[in-house]
Structure 1
C-alpha cells in the first residue's frame, strides 16, 4: 500500500462481510440529477431517487433497464466499474465488477490451428469470449455498502418494461440495421435467440417504434430481485454455462467459475490536477492513463489562453494522449497476476520526463512506452512484450447525484455490440475475453501483460471518474463508452472544463480527438477544417474520416451548489432532475 499512499489514494477498509443497509439520514437534501444514455434509464433512476433511494440504488435500477433497452452496450450478464463518493465521509471508493476468465482458460485459446490469432468476429461470436459476469455481484456489493431501499424494489421499472414492452429506439434500430448481419440466423452460425428476438418474419429487424417485449428477462429479474445468488449459484448460472459451451467455438466457462466470482471494493486511484483531485478505478481499469494525460499536461509547456480555439492546444492534448496510451498499452493489466508500475506511471518526475518529449513546434518523431519502473520502488521491474490487444467499441456510462450528495459515476459493458450475440434469460452474454491480447508473446518472445490466463481479468478501458475540489467536496463526475477511446473522451471533458473554461455540455460537444499510436483520429463532423489542417501542418497523422461515437455523461457542481449536467448528443442521452 505504500505506493498507493504516494498516489494520493483514498484509504478505506475493505468490505469483508455483508453489512446492513445504510440508514436514511435527516441531513439537508442536496440537488438531485441523473444523466444516462437512454430516456427509460434516466426515468428509472429518478423514480428510485423520488422514493428516497441512494445513488447506488438508482444505479441498480438504471443498469437493469439499460440491459433491456440498450442491450448493444451493457447488461446484467456483463460487467463494469462504479466510482462512488460518500458525502458524509468525503470519501471515494471503487466497486470492481470486471469479468474474469474461466479456470480452464489458456494463453492460446484465441489462436487458430496455425498458431495465428483467430478473426475478431469468430472470437466475439463464440462461447470462448464470455467471462464470468461481474455486474450483479458488483451492484449487490455496492448495495450492501450504500443501499437505502430494499434490493427487491429496484427492478420494478425494468420488469415492467420487459413485460409490457418498450419501443425500439432509433439508436437500437441503427445498431440492428448495421450489425444485424452478424447475429446468427441459423444454428450453423450459432445460437439464434437474438435473431428471433430482433427480427421479423421478413428477416428484417423490427422497425423504430416497434413494441418489443422480453418475458424471459422479466422472469430473470424476478429471480434476481428475490435473491441475487440465483444468478451465480442457481438456474441462471446453469443456463449461462450451457449456452457458453454450445458450438460453434464452444467456450470453457462452468457453473463452478460463475459460483466462485466475487466483486471487490477498492481504494480509488487519484491524480492531483491544478487545485483538484481527479479519481478513478485502479487496474484492470485503464483510468491510470487518464491520470497520466492530466499529469503530462500539467508538466508540459501549458495551454494558451485561447482554449479550444487554438489548434496548438489540441496538438498538445494529442501528444499527451499518445504518451499515456503508449504506457497504458504496455503495462496495464490485472494486478492480481501482473505487476503494474502504477507508482511510476503517476510519479511527478516521470510525468515531467514524459512531458519533456512534447514539442511546441512539431509532432513527436516517435511514440514509445517509457520506463516508469525506476520510479516504482514497490515492485520489481519487468520487461513486457508489445501489446496486441485489438481496438473495439461498446459500453455505456451514467452519472448520479442523490439527495444526500452521494455520487455514482459508473461505466458498464458487454464489450462489443450485443456481446457474443448469445442470449440467456433475455440477456446478452458478454464477450469481454476479447479484451485480452489474442497473442501472449510479441515477435521477440516477450510476454504481453494483457495476455489470457486462468481467472484473470482482461484489461478494461472503462474509466469512470469523479473530481473533488480542494476541500475534498464533490465537484464533477464524468465518463464515457467507446472502447479504447474512452480514455481520450473522458480526458477531453476534464480538459474542456478545467483548462478551457467550458460548460460541461460545451466540453462534451467538442470534437472527439483520439491519439493512440501515430494515427490521430479527429471527429470530422464536429471539427472545423482549420483545425484539421493545422494539426496536419503540425505533423500529426490526422484521420478525419471517422465519426467518434462517444456517450459522455457529466454532472458538475457549480459554486452555488446547484448541479449542471451534460448528455452526449451523439447518443440518446437524457438529463433528469428532481
Structure 2
C-alpha cells in the first residue's frame, strides 16, 4: 500500500510494488512524481527524513537527508549590511535561504541499501508526466496564486504563462524538468552534487537578486547522508518510534503523548473539551522544550535521553491540570541539558509526507520538503530550490546565551518533520504516519495518535479530525471549519486563549487492521491511499484555501 498527497504519485509507487519493487523503491518513485505534480511542497531541491521498519528483522533505521548550511554560513547569515536582522520576506525569498539539498542523496543511499528495482526505473513515471504533461491540481494552482509569485526565471515562465498562475485543470508540460530527471536517472546523483548541476545551483544562489548566498560547488560535493539512532518510547501499551534530531518530531511527539499518559484520555473521549485542553497544554510544554534544546546534534549537545526520560516527562505532566490552564510556559531542565536559550522560529507550510508498505513487511515512512511554498523561488534545471535555512534562528543569541539552533557552516536546521511508526504490544507494526504543515506537523501527528490509540478511531478519521495547535505559547489555534470550533467557549472557560483560524494541514498514514493494511489520507489535500490491487481509500474532501471547493 502507498499513501501520499497526490493520486498520481501514489499510482507511481503502486506501480513499483507491482513490479516487485521494495517499499523503498515505491517511496522514491512516489517522491519523484511529487516533484513534478506538487513542486510547491517537496522535491529534489529540498531534503527529507526517512524512518524504515525492516519486515524481516524488525530493525528500525533512519536516514537524515536534511539540507545543510553552506560552509561560509555564520551567526550573521541573516543580517543585513546595517547589522540588523533581515525581514522575514528577505530571509524566505533570498539566495541565502537555501541549504545544500539532501533529498536526492538520501534517495540514492536508501536505494543502495534497500532498493530492488533499477534506479532509472524509479524515475520513469515522473519523467513521463513532466515530458507528456499533467493536469494542474487545485492545490498547485492556488499555491502558485497565493504563495508562489516570488518565483523567478524558468519557474516564472513555466508556472505563470501570460503572467497568471497556470490554471487549474490545464495540462502543464515541463520539458526542462524532464531533461534533468532523465539525466539523473541515467547518471545517478553525481552531476547534482559533483558536476555541472552543482555548479549551476551555486551560481544561481550566489547571483540571486535578493540576499545572495555564498554556497560553493564544494558545499554540494561535501554533502553526506547521516544515519541517526531512532527515538523510541512507550505510550500506554504501544511503542512509538520516530526521527531523532535535527528532526524534533521523534522527541516531541513522544513527549506530548507521555505527558498525557496519566490522564484517562479514552474515558474523556474526543467530544470532551477537557481532553482537547489537556492536549493543548501538553503541546505547550513539549514545544517549549523543543525550542530550547533541539538542534543539529553534530553542533549542539541535544539531551535526547533526558527529554524522553519517563521520570522527566512525568514531572512535566504534573504541571498539567484538567481544570485550568498553565500560568506560565517554560522549558524544563532535563538531564544533560546545556545552559543555552533558543530564539523563536518562522513557521512554514511546504512539505509532503508519504507512507509505503511492501509485501515483505517493510515500512518506509518519509517526510520530504522544500520548506515554504516553492522554496526560495529559484529553480535550476526545472527543480525548485529550498528555503530551508529559514528554519534556523535568525538571531543567534538571546538574553546572553547562544541559541542552540543558530546558523553555523555545515549545520542542519531544526525541523518539525515527524515520520513515525507505532508498534502494537506484540511487536507488530500498528501504524505509520507523517504530516506536512510546518511546526503544526508535531501536533498533527500527536493528535492523530491520540485519536487512534485512545479514542479507537480509524487513522483516516483521526487525520480528518480538527486540530488544536499550541506551539509553546499561551495562545492556541483551533482549526477553522472543524468540530472543535463548537468547543471554544468551554475551552476558554478552562483558561485557554483561543483563536479560530485555518491551518495548512496535510497528513498520510497506513494502519494494520484485522491482518490487512488500511490507508489514510488527509481530506484537506488531494491525497489518496492505494493498495497493490488498485483499491483506493475513499475520502470525503474538505474545502480549504489551497484546495478550493471539494465535495
Normalised by the shorter chain, which TM-score bucket? over 0.9
TM-score (norm 1): 0.90
Q: Which residue of 2 aligns with 1:5?
A: none
Give SS of 2:498's match: strand
Residue 493 (structure 1) aligned with residue 448 (structure 2): yes
Residue 537 (structure 1) aligned with residue 537 (structure 2): no
Give SS of 2:48's match: strand
Shift in Å at residue 268 of structure 1?
1.2
Residue 238 (structure 1) aligned with residue 238 (structure 2): no
Q: How does 1:542-553 map to 2 (within 5 A)?
A: 542-544=498-500, 546-553=501-508
Q: Which residue of 1 aligns with 2:535?
A: none
Quick check: 1:320–1:355 contact (8 Å CA) kept in 2? yes
Q: Which residue of 1 aligns with 2:35?
A: 67
Q: Decide which of 521, 539, 544 is 2:477's aligned counterpart.
A: 521
Give SS of 1:271's match: strand
Counterpart CA distance in 1 for 2:484 and 2:344 is 33
Counterpart CA distance in 2 for 1:106 and 1:458 is 13
Counterpart CA distance in 2 for 1:422 and 1:429 is 6
Residue 215 (structure 1) aligned with residue 178 (structure 2): no
Counterpart CA distance in 1 for 2:449 and 2:122 is 32
Give SS of 2:322's match: coil
Counterpart CA distance in 2 for 1:358 and 1:426 is 50
Shift in Å at residue 391 of structure 1?
1.8
Residue 468 (structure 1) aligned with residue 436 (structure 2): no
Deviations 1:34-85 (A, max 9, x none): 1100011010101111100001001111111111110110001100101101
Give SS of 1:552's match: strand
Counterpart CA distance in 2 for 1:427 and 1:521 is 34
Q: Decide which of 541, 546, 568 is 2:522's aligned counterpart.
A: 568
Quick check: 2:268–2:274 contact (8 Å CA) kept in 1? no
Counterpart CA distance in 2 for 1:130 and 1:386 is 21
Deviations 1:288-346 (A, max 9, x none): 11011111111x33325141011101111111111000000110000000001111111
Q: Decide which of 370, 389, 404 is 1:433's aligned counterpart.
A: 389
Q: Which residue of 2 aligns with 1:229?
A: 190
Residue 39 (structure 1) aligned with residue 39 (structure 2): no
- Seen in structure 2, the aligned counterparts of structure 1 residues 250 and 535 have a Cα distance that, compared at 3 Å, is same
TM-score (norm 2): 0.94
Give SS of 1:563's match: strand
Quick check: 1:389–1:450 contact (8 Å CA) kept in 2? no
Q: Which residue of 2 aligns with 1:182?
A: 150
Q: Which residue of 2 aligns with 1:135?
A: 103
Runs of 4+ in structure 1 over 4 Å off = none
Quick check: 1:304–1:310 contact (8 Å CA) kept in 2? no
Counterpart CA distance in 1 for 2:368 and 2:459 is 21
Give unmatched runs, 5+ long, in structure 1: 1-32, 184-190
Give SS of 1:181's match: coil
Counterpart CA distance in 1 for 2:378 and 2:515 is 45
Q: Decide which of 99, 109, 129 is 2:67's aligned counterpart.
A: 99
Give SS of 1:159's match: helix
Residue 206 (structure 1) aligned with residue 166 (structure 2): yes
Counterpart CA distance in 1 for 2:205 and 2:329 is 40
Q: Which residue of 2 aligns with 1:126?
A: 94
Residue 297 (structure 1) aligned with residue 260 (structure 2): yes
Give SS of 1:264's match: coil
Deviations 1:185-235 (A, max 9, x none): xxxxxx42211111122x211211111111111111122112221211112
Q: Which residue of 1 aligns with 2:538?
A: none
CA RMSD of aligned residues (A): 1.2
Give SS of 2:476's match: strand
Give SS of 2:149's match: helix
Quick check: 2:3–2:527 contact (8 Å CA) kept in 1? yes
Shift in Å at residue 570 of structure 1?
0.5
Deviates more, 1:464-473 or 1:405-414: 464-473
Give SS of 2:435's match: coil
Counterpart CA distance in 2 for 1:346 and 1:562 is 32
Give SS of 1:539's match: coil
Give SS of 1:409's match: strand
Give SS of 2:299's match: coil
Q: Which residue of 1 aligns with 2:540?
A: none
Q: Decide which of 233, 239, 244 is 1:271's aligned counterpart.
A: 233
Residue 361 (structure 1) aligned with residue 323 (structure 2): yes
Quick check: 1:217–1:425 contact (8 Å CA) kept in 2? yes
Quick check: 1:396–1:411 contact (8 Å CA) kept in 2? yes
Q: How does 1:3-402 map to 2 (within 5 A)?
A: 33-183=1-151, 191-201=152-162, 203-226=163-186, 227-248=188-209, 249-287=211-249, 288-298=251-261, 300-303=262-265, 305-372=267-334, 375-376=335-336, 381-402=337-358
Shift in Å at residue 528 of structure 1?
4.3
- Seen in structure 2, the aligned counterparts of structure 1 residues 266 and 180 have a Cα distance that, compared at 3 Å, is closer
Give SS of 1:56's match: helix
Shift in Å at residue 473 of structure 1?
1.6
Give SS of 2:395's match: coil
Q: Which residue of 1 aligns with 2:537?
A: none
